[in-house]
Structure 1
Amino acid sequence: MPRYARRSARVILVDSSDRMLLIRSALLSEGGHAWFTPGGGVKWWEPLRMAAARELWEEAGLRVRGRQLRAVAFTTGRADLGFANGLFRDDFYLLRVDSHEVDVSGLTEFERGHYGGFRWWSADELATTEETVFPYRLAELLADVVAGRVPSPPRELPWHH
């Protein structure tokens, strides 16, 4: 298994209106902002699902158990975020909910410094937006999830265009 400079666990949170929650955050190396799924770095001792559940609680105020999350996608690639440089891997877990009132009071100090809001997106909105959204091809994954085609095993999404 490759040695990663950073592992992250992220959640594709989809509500009963088939919209996905994304968080707007400042890009560290390039300036500007982009939209990301809730999630973040995995602590050395954490199982990936547990890290995804913790991040969902911190960033969206939704408490779940790791076993409720289903692995659906991953990305790998090289990046320099300033605090980590090298090969990265992000693992994405699906959670469907009826609805959820987002609560960002659990953001860490670092996250608060980069936070730019949140929004629920449909697959069509994601497919046609001019905004930067990570990972790439997220609209296709959401469309598949909405249609009941949940990837198994997890699908690799492109790290870049």
Structure 2
Amino acid sequence: MDDVEVVDRISGRVILLDPNGRALLFQGFDPQRPNQLWWITPGGGLEPGETPQQAAARELQEETSLDVQPQDLGEAVFRNYVEFFFDGRLLRQHNHFFTLRTEPFEISTAGFDALEQRTHLTHRWWTLEELRTTDETFFPEELPDLLS
């Protein structure tokens, strides 16, 4: 059996809400399990020297084109620790979630890196009711409680 690469990381993520309170989520998959789809908030791992707030702002710009200052995100509203396999690696990840309300804007995923381009299918805005009643998988699982 091959040894699995373990990656410990911290991420900054954004619960981005439109004027109607809908949350933006991206649909993606693990390249090694392309039939298992899930939805996630914008965000990603910290680069050297970044805070979770700075990473969340940078990732939001890269993944949506929305340019915000890290301080605009305020303090983290939720933190969790998750372990999951992605692209053959075990990620042990401490997530910091920030909430931001925004006016409507044209989402551009032009800033996706090669892996994101390969593993992200689409995006959409979700209502609280849709999140509470869907059979689809989304993360964090606590998202409906965070929106209510």
TM-score by length of 1: 0.80
Tell me, what secondary structure is at the counterpart of 1:7? strand
User: In the aligned structure 2, how far is the partner of 1:9 from the partner of 1:110?
Assistant: 18
- Over aligned residue pairs, what C-alpha RMSD do you find? 1.6
How far the C-alpha of 1:58 sits from its partner, in A, is 0.8
Q: What does residue 21 of structure 2 align with?
A: 18
Structure number with the higher strand fraction is 2
Query: How much does 1:111 deviate?
Result: 0.5
Deviation of the 1:20 alpha carbon: 0.5
* Structure 2 gaps, min length 5: 1-6
- Are 1:140 and 2:145 counterparts? yes
2:131 is the alignment partner of 1:126: yes
Distance across 2 between alignment mates of 1:77 and 1:21: 21
Measured after TM superposition, the shift of residue 34 of structure 1 is: 0.5
**Alignment check: 8 A CA contact 1:39 1:55 kept:** yes
| Deviation of 1:30 (Å) | 4.2
Distance (Å, rounded) in 2 between the aligned partners of 1:94 and 1:52: 10
Runs of 4+ with deviation above 6 angstroms? none
1:29 Cα deviation after fit: 5.3
Asked if structure 1 preserves the Cα contact closer than 8 Å seen for 2:14 and 2:42, the reply is: yes
Contact 1:20 1:120 in 2 (8 A): yes
Amino acid at match of 2:138: V
Distance 1:74 1:130 in 2: 24
Percentage of pairs with the same residue: 36
For the residues of structure 2 that align with 1:44 and 1:28, how far apart are their CA atoms? 26
CA distance in 2, matches of 1:86, 1:116: 21
Unaligned runs of 5+ in 1: 144-161
1:112 CA displacement:
0.3
Indicate whether 1:59 and 2:63 are aligned.
yes
Alpha-carbon separation, structure 1, partners of 2:98 and 2:25: 14
Separation in structure 1 between the aligned mates of residue 145 and residue 30 of structure 2, nearest angstrom: 23
Under a length normalisation based on structure 2, what TM-score does the superposition of the two structures give? 0.87
